[in-house]
Amino acid sequence: MKSTASLHDKELATVKKSRLRENVEAILLAILLALFIRTFIVQAFKIPSGSMEDTLLIGDHILVNKFMYGIRMPFSNQTIVPVKEPQRGDIVVFKFPGDPKVDYIKRVVGLPGDVVECRDKEVFVNGQPEENPFAVHKDTYTIRQKYPPRDNFGPITVPPDNLFVMGDNRDNSNDSRFWGFVDFDKLRGKAFMIYWSWDSDDFAVRWRRLGDILH
């Protein structure tokens, strides 16, 4: 009887160890899959400022396609498999040139070789008015001089492998007008959807914004 009981206990212990190992393996696989998705495919970001209003509001949570502009090496962020070049109008997340630890989000205005200029708040690209129906001006005052360059700057030419970016909230955005261009290697990806939105002032969910596709 003791021998039978001992054998039964050993079988139970073996089953428990097997289940424990299966659970650990499943957890590790889930972690690795999540890291792979976050590194190469999609990453979530929260909007902390109003520089992209009214396209993006403070408290919006967005998804960013990290595969759009190519597969990049982790940590170095160098492109190893190019996929698609950024286009004018793309909403991009990138490492701020002044502090790579900080992520910024803006809209692409100028591509390599483009000549960008602003005259009394109106932006011109290659001599033509910028086509951006989402740009807004909430300050009626115009800064006539070129410094600070909020309302008047340029013309300037975008160098190779760089972008000129601006926030849609043109009167309240810290962007390429003030600190220059964004190198392709600093790109994190293209924003494509709002998956959550929280209004901290009203302490409420902005239900109508959930699932909005960004343009």
What is residue 199's three-state secondary structure? strand
Residue of 95, 106, 186, 190 marked active site: 106
Q: What gap in Å lies between CA 84 and CA 81, rounded to an integer?
A: 10
> Do residues 40 and 32 make contact, with C-beta atoms less than 8 angstroms apart?
no
> Is 79:70 a contact under the CB 8 Å cutoff?
yes
Can you give the C-alpha Rg of the chain in angstroms? 24
The C-alpha atoms of residue 132 and residue 9 are separated, in whole angstroms, by 72
Is 106 catalytic? The answer is: yes
C-alpha–C-alpha distance, residues 121 and 113, integer Å: 22
Catalytic residue selected from 51, 173, 176, 197: 51
Q: How many CA atoms lie within 13 A of 142 on its CB side?
A: 9
Respond yes or no: is residue 2 known to be catalytic: no
Contact between 157 and 113 under an 8 Å Cβ cutoff? The reply is yes
Active site (catalytic) residues: 51, 106
